[in-house]
Chain A
Amino acid sequence: MGLNSLTLREAQEGLKAKKFTSQELVKDCLDRIEETDGKIRAFLAKNPLALKEATENPQGIPVAIKDNFNTSGLETTASSNILKGYLPPYDATVVRKVKENNGIILGKTNMDAFAHGSSTETSDFGPTKNPWDLQRLPGGSSGGSAAAVAADQAIFAIGSETAGSIRGPAAWCGIVGLKPTYGRVSRYGLIAMASSTDSPGPLTKTVGDARTVYHWIKGQDPHDATTVDQGEGTVKEIRDLKIGLPKEYFRPEGQKEVNETVWQAAKVFERLGARLVEISLFDPQYAISVYTIVQRSEVSSNLGRFTGIRFGHGRETFNAENKRRIMLGTYALSAGYYDAYYKKAQQVRTVIIDDFKKTFEKVDLILAPTMPSVAPRLGVTQGQSMYGELADILTEPSSVAGLPAISLPCGFVAGLPVGLQLIGPLWQEEMILKAAEEFERNTAWHKEKPKL
């Protein structure tokens, strides 16, 4: 196997020990992309200077960046025709930080156009395929980033989550995806979707890698007034942890084998000394409506800037899903409907937040399946008015509450990866990462690779 199959930690150690060079590392990734991306379609614009940058930076590590992050001089489209040909004049803060930490951009990865989806099927440039089964979807909207990591095309990737867009693809592609607390990581230069929940985060092969990248990208940014320099909370040992399993998240209409796989995985934490507690959470189905209204309202406002005046093409270039979301949002914010929809949704949002707050007085972390099923087949999203929002039922509550969460591989059903998620209180990423790392140390799911 080539150097492209290394983890971030292995790549860093190998480069330091001079076992191989950064050019060899980048070249193996580029070869792997050449060899497999015809089938997977994870990448959009590729960085023609990647090998040259590796020559100039002996510590360079190849990374894939989701196409909604502005990358200076490298085409950025958010997988939408409206930005075809757009060359950003600046780097997003997250991109700048990744570069400062020796990240070498291999290219931009495919996503649902403007992140309006949970499958990567609504990309204007064609869907990305799941490396575990090319007839299936990788999840979304960070599907390209997840597929690139799962297929060992990149050592790690950057994605973003508004509700499920890091965790979902991580689960369906069998990798680690961390969604930090809203406000931990700067959104400057991230093409906005829902400004009150958008959270950039890493997609990686191991929990340790996710922690490394998380520490690179977090931190207050003068360019993003919603960022906070908050410390990490006290981290408990596994044997002192109380982990809540919410019965409402093991849904009867979900895939039975997925629920069972996650239950079995939860037992690992128990064997390691944690206490598992069955809890009851506010029914997540309400979060679907909250999220649909809040997100689509904020989308309608944020996408108002795409007029073709300062950049991009005309508004008729939006795809049907983009237009539908803008329309719903505009309606929900319009005179006569604002109170009934947007304000009501934000009130139920408070109810959800309070429910989590009360729950975290009783347990330290919440454990549940990330997605109710394994990766679906291509074509499943056609003709649906709310496919994405319905599929993300298990991630929407924590997203609207701004909470941090991680998805990690915990098993397989019929050869397709299953992810479990750990949700923590605000600002408790380190507690989540520590528990996740213990699980990973005692299992081998993260070592499985798709056969391509």
Chain B
Amino acid sequence: MSQGLTKAEVQHVAQLANLPLKEEEVVDFSQKLSETIDYVKRLNEVKTTAVAPTYQTGGTQNRFREDEITPSLPPTEALKNAERQYNNFFVAPDVWD
């Protein structure tokens, strides 16, 4: 495991997270993220062989319902806060290069 995050690693993570970062932020985050990662590595002091991970404490599983139409937001309400809409659709940026 690398000691700190390189600029390239930070930029890669920023791309995965779809976060536009300024140059100063890349530098700041390299340092702050490295500090945090160093801290959380303490978890390696805890033995977890054969311990199952817990994703949810409530114990609920597979909540299903019938495939019936129930009252929901009308399109006008759902689109109310969208910057761009077209024919009852949200308009999203072009994903093709």
Contacts and interface: CB of A to CB of B under 8 A. Distances in A.
Contacts of A293: 40, 43
Contact of A320 (B16, B28, B83): B28
B60 A225 contact: yes
Interface stretch (A101-109, A132-140, A258-266, A325-333): A325-333
B51 A87 contact: no
Contacts, number: 144
**Chain B at the A interface: SS class:** loop
Chain B, interface residues (CB within 8 Å), range? 35 or more
Given A289-B42, A385-B36, A300 B17 contact: yes
A341 B36 CA distance: 12
Most buried by A among B25, B39, B43: B43
Interface string B43-81: 111101001111111111001010000000100011011
B8 interface: no
B58 A309 contact: no
Interface of A: 86-87, 89-90, 181-183, 196-197, 222, 225-226, 228, 285-286, 288-290, 292-293, 300, 304, 307-312, 314-316, 318, 320, 323-324, 326-328, 330-331, 334, 340-341, 343-351, 353, 385-386, 400-402, 426
Given A89-B77, A323-B19, A347-B48, A328 B36 contact: yes
**Chain A at the B interface: SS class:** helix
A307 B1 CA distance: 32
Contacts of B13: 327, 330-331, 334
Contact of B39 (A311, A350, A386): A386
Given A307-B18, A326-B17, A286 B53 contact: no
Contacts of B82: 309-311
Given A225-B60, A228-B58, A345-B43, A350 B52 contact: yes
B81 A182 contact: no
B14 interface: yes
B65 to A, nearest CB: 7
B60 A386 contact: no
B32 A183 contact: no
Given A315-B18, A347-B52, A351-B48, A289 B40 contact: yes
Contacts of A314: 20
15 contacts: A228-B60, A288-B39, A289-B40, A292-B36, A310-B81, A312-B81, A314-B20, A315-B19, A327-B17, A330-B16, A341-B40, A343-B53, A349-B53, A351-B46, A385-B35
A345 B17 CA distance: 21
Contacts of A401: 57
